Amino acid sequence: MSEFQEVSKQSGVHPKPAGLVFQYGTAGFRTNAKLLDHIMFRMGLLATLRSKTTKATIGVMVTASHNPEEDNGVKLVDPMGEMVSPTWEVYATQLANAEQEDLLAALKDIIEKEAVNMSQEAKVFVGKDTRGSSARLSQAVLDGVSALGGHSKDYGLVTTPQLHYMVCCQNTQGKYGEATVEGYYKKLSQAFIKLSKNASNCTDDQKHLSVDGANGIGALKVREMESHLKKELHISLFNDGSEGKLNHQCGADFVKVQQKPPTGMEINPGERCCSFDGDADRIVYYYSDSEGTFHLLDGDKVATLISTFLKELLTSAGLDLKIAVVQTAYANGSSTNYLENTMKVIVRCTKTGVKHLHHAAQEFDIGVYFEANGHGTVLFSKAAEEKIQQLAENSSLIDEKKRAALLLQNTINVINQTVGDAISDMLLIEAILAIKGMTIHQWDAIYTDLPNRQLKVKVSDCRVIDTTDAERRAVSPAGLQEAIDTLVKKYRKARSFVRPSGTEDVVRVYAEAETQDSADDLAHEVSLAVY
Ligand code: NG1
Ligand code: ZN
């Protein structure tokens, strides 16, 4: 077969260094960019096969999100814009690790297992972030697609959620929107402007937001989007990539983990600020108060704001839809407590990684999911969307109901349901604050976070730690969980857990307690127990 000859020939241009082994982790493959050329080529091959079996367009995104500039990575996107299915993650690992001489056999093995019809057409959308290595690596993906006779469309520089959006639009024949970056801006900004019209008495000052672009793709895309917002939002952009290094001392991950503002940003007391991560799928908010104290509003606060807003609208619209919030073990205990006991919404806890949260959120009429680090979105079931639409189109409705239904409809349109999206989340949050006439301080005051600390521990082999109960308890090595339990008992309102990271070669330690000193001490003591 000529396509296999072409694969052989092309794979020689993208050879695998012998002995190199990687795993498709929490967010695809991610490591130093110098080691990724063969993986990119092979992911181009795999995406082509996936496209043939699903008879749909598949996405490949070249990015390493919040990792340092020297790293890169690749994620596969399934037809509805969701993360690739677990079986294909296993194939991805097998194909990536096959030695050069075994590549064709590994490829044929997948073709056989999945009964791939090789004469079926294939289409792959490719996107990349702003890293220096991304152009070369995305070319390797394109080479992989063409070696197997697939068609590709190179979207060039896009955010991760934009690529997910394009794939979903393409496979729903435009029902979700137009599969262009311009179409994405139009859909989101029109919905945002309609939502903003419901904010009476909003001054120009209140329409101002400072954005830290992490010196990455999000900064470029915010610039492109700004003109579509028709002055309903005034953005001051910092860390726009013109000087600083990607993710260095800035971006959502830095702000969340260090619990301090990014460098390169002017912050005036009480002003709303937010940070994106390196591929713009995460967002966190923050402000500094009149005493200069820094306040972080993370993914948990975002989930609370959005779910409160949605719940109020459902009540006003008289719609009986089941709403749930999905979190991970990293969610602040105060947020879970507030959601369950004050707001009385269903709360679910899943393993780390958006694919787990996304899946759990799909079980409800409305599933709001956010990781504490700011990665998340809202999912509406088809039935929920239909009910909302019917209500919004019902002309005999009284004013309050109609207004709530229209707000819900525009909320659906401003959200990127395919995956967490910093730009879309930012627009939704800005609209909610404007509609509710809420300052960032008032939003922050909905509940008070328990002081917490996250640490990383280097161990010789992270895999010796195995967890259960959505990663909240360690089952191995023996004695570790008992040691953690004993330490936790020493502090008031304390909680702590450990788990191996899926994106770095470290064990992550999380601790929260009544005071910052206690949280810091507990995290430190638990790290010592991990050794
Ligand atoms: P790991 O390295 O598995 O903890 C991190 C984040 C995840 C997720 C992925 C993918 C934390 C504690 N972990 O995973 O939530 O976002 O990266 O980007 O923030
Ligand atoms: Zn990211």
| pLDDT tens-place string over residues 131-182 | 999 999 999 999 999 999 999 999 999 999 999 999 999 999 989 999 999 9
- For the segment 77-119, what is each residue's pLDDT rounded down to a tens digit? 999 999 999 999 999 999 999 999 999 999 999 999 999 999 9
Q: Is 372 annotated as a binding residue?
A: yes
Q: What pLDDT is recorded for position 318?
A: 94
CA of 227 to the centre of ligand 1 (A): 33
Q: What pLDDT is recorded for position 33?
A: 97
CA of 352 to the centre of ligand 1 (A): 7
Do residues 60 and 141 touch, judged by C-beta distance below 8 A? Answer: yes
CA of 326 to the centre of ligand 2 (A): 18
Give me the phi and psi of 72, to 5 degrees please: -150, 180
> CATH homologous superfamily of domain 299-420?
Alpha-D-Glucose-1,6-Bisphosphate, subunit A, domain 3 (3.40.120.10)
Q: Residues of CATH 3.30.310.50 domain(s) within the chain?
A: 452-530
Q: What pLDDT is recorded for position 311?
A: 97
Structure-token match 């919004």, residue found: 392
> Is pLDDT at 2 greater than 80 in this prediction?
no
Q: Is 68 annotated as a binding residue?
A: no
Residue 257 CA: nearest ligand 1 atom is 19
Interatomic CA distance for residues 128 and 219, integer angstroms: 14
Q: Is 500 annotated as a binding residue?
A: yes
DSSP 229: G
CA of 504 to the centre of ligand 1 (A): 9
Sequence-distant contacts of 32-38: CB under 8 A, at least 24 apart: 32/70, 32/71, 32/72, 33/64, 33/70, 33/71, 33/72, 33/131, 33/132, 33/133, 33/137, 34/133, 36/72, 36/73, 36/74, 36/133, 36/137, 37/136, 37/137, 37/140, 38/11, 38/14, 38/96, 38/140
What is the maximum span of the chain, computed from C-alpha positions, in angstroms? 71
Q: Residues of CATH 3.40.120.10 domain(s) within the chain?
A: 2-157, 183-297, 299-420
Q: What pLDDT is recorded for position 101?
A: 96
Do residues 63 and 31 touch, judged by C-beta distance below 8 A? Answer: no
Q: What is the pTM (predicted TM-score) of this model?
A: 0.96
Identify the residue whose C-alpha is closest to ligand 1 atom 7.
353
Give me the phi and psi of 152, to 5 degrees please: -130, 160
Interatomic CA distance for residues 329 and 307, integer angstroms: 19
DSSP 341: I
CATH pick for 183-297 out of 3.40.120.10, 3.40.50.1000, 3.40.50.1010, 3.30.465.10: 3.40.120.10
Identify the residue whose C-alpha is closest to ligand 1 atom 13.
352
> Is pLDDT at 307 greater than 80 in this prediction?
yes
Identify the residue whose C-alpha is closest to ligand 1 atom 10.
27
Among 349, 357, 346, 351, smallest CA distance to 332 is for 349
Phi/psi region, residue 270 (left: phi>0; alpha: psi -120 to 50; beta: rest), is: left
Q: Is 198 annotated as a binding residue?
A: no
Q: Which residues are annotated as catalytic?
A: 65
- For the segment 5-28, what is each residue's pLDDT rounded down to a tens digit? 999 999 999 999 999 999 998 789
pLDDT mean across residues, the chain:
95
Identify the residue whose C-alpha is closest to ligand 1 atom 18.
27
Residue 508 CA: nearest ligand 1 atom is 4
> Would you state the structure tokens that stand for residue 433, as one six-digit string?
């604050």
Q: Which ligand is nearest to the CA of 376?
A: 1
Identify the residue whose C-alpha is closest to ligand 1 atom 11.
373
As its CATH architecture, domain 452-530 has 2-Layer Sandwich (3.30)
Q: Is the dihedral of CA 108, 112, 117, 122 positive or negative?
A: negative
Q: What is the mean pLDDT of residues 203-210?
A: 88
Do residues 73 and 65 touch, judged by C-beta distance below 8 A? Answer: yes
Could you give the dihedral angle defined by the CA atoms of residues 498, 500, 504 and 506, in that order, rounded to the nearest 10 degrees?
60
Q: What is the mean pLDDT of residues 502-515?
A: 92
Q: What is the mean pLDDT of residues 487-515?
A: 94
**C-beta neighbour count of 312 within 10 angstroms:** 13
Q: Which residues line ligand 1 (CB under 6 A)?
A: 26-27, 65, 330, 352-353, 371, 373, 375, 501-504, 508
Q: Is the dihedral of CA 9, 163, 160, 182 positive or negative?
A: positive
pLDDT > 90 fraction of the chain, expressed in percent and rounded: 91
Residue 504 CA: nearest ligand 1 atom is 2
In the structure, what pLDDT confidence band is assigned to residue 502 with cuts at 50, 70 and 90? confident
Describe the strand order of the beta sheet including 208-212 as a list of residue ranges: 234-238, 208-212, 273-276, 283-288, 294-297
Among 484, 488, 491, 482, smallest CA distance to 517 is for 491
Q: Which ligand is nearest to the CA of 353?
A: 1
> Is pLDDT at 396 greater than 80 in this prediction?
no
Do residues 7 and 103 touch, judged by C-beta distance below 8 A? Answer: yes
> Would you state the structure tokens that stand for residue 450, as one six-digit string?
């328990």
CA of 51 to the centre of ligand 1 (A): 27
CA of 25 to the centre of ligand 2 (A): 14
Q: What is the mean pLDDT of residues 72-76?
A: 97
In the structure, what pLDDT confidence band is assigned to residue 186 with cuts at 50, 70 and 90? very high
CATH of domain 2-157: 3.40.120.10
DSSP per residue, 29-68: EEEEGGG-HHHHHHHHHHHHHHHHHHTS-EEEEE--TTS-
Q: Which ligand is nearest to the CA of 373?
A: 1
Probe target for ligand 1 pocket from 501, 506, 509, 512, with the most ligand atoms within 8 Å of CB: 501
Find the range with the poorest average confidence among 195-209, 319-333, 464-478.
195-209
**C-beta neighbour count of 315 within 10 angstroms:** 11
Describe the strand order of the beta sheet including 29-32 as a list of residue ranges: 29-32, 71-77, 58-62, 123-128, 151-157
Interatomic CA distance for residues 79 and 54, integer angstroms: 8
Q: Which ligand is nearest to the CA of 253?
A: 1
Q: Is 15 annotated as a binding residue?
A: no
In the structure, what pLDDT confidence band is assigned to residue 1 with cuts at 50, 70 and 90? low
Among 418, 419, 425, smallest CA distance to 176 is for 418
Probe target for ligand 1 pocket from 258, 357, 373, 454, with the most ligand atoms within 8 Å of CB: 373
Helices 2-13, 37-54: axis angle to 10 degrees equals 150
In the structure, what pLDDT confidence band is assigned to residue 398 with cuts at 50, 70 and 90? confident
Q: What pLDDT is recorded for position 394?
A: 83
Probe target for ligand 1 pocket from 352, 371, 497, with the most ligand atoms within 8 Å of CB: 352
Do residues 450 and 332 touch, judged by C-beta distance below 8 A? Answer: yes
Q: What pLDDT is recorded for position 343?
A: 95
CA of 472 to the centre of ligand 1 (A): 15
Identify the residue whose C-alpha is closest to ligand 1 atom 16.
353
| ipTM reported for the complex, 2 dp | 0.97
In the structure, what pLDDT confidence band is assigned to residue 514 with cuts at 50, 70 and 90? very high
Interatomic CA distance for residues 297 and 304, integer angstroms: 10
Among 81, 34, 167, smallest CA distance to 355 is for 81
Do residues 256 and 296 touch, judged by C-beta distance below 8 A? Answer: yes
Q: Is 502 annotated as a binding residue?
A: yes
Among 142, 255, 272, 256, smallest CA distance to 264 is for 255
Structure-token match 């983990």, residue found: 257
Q: Is 371 annotated as a binding residue?
A: yes
For residue 133, count CB atoms less than 10 angstroms from its CB and return exposed for 0-12, middle for 13-18, buried for 19 or more.
buried
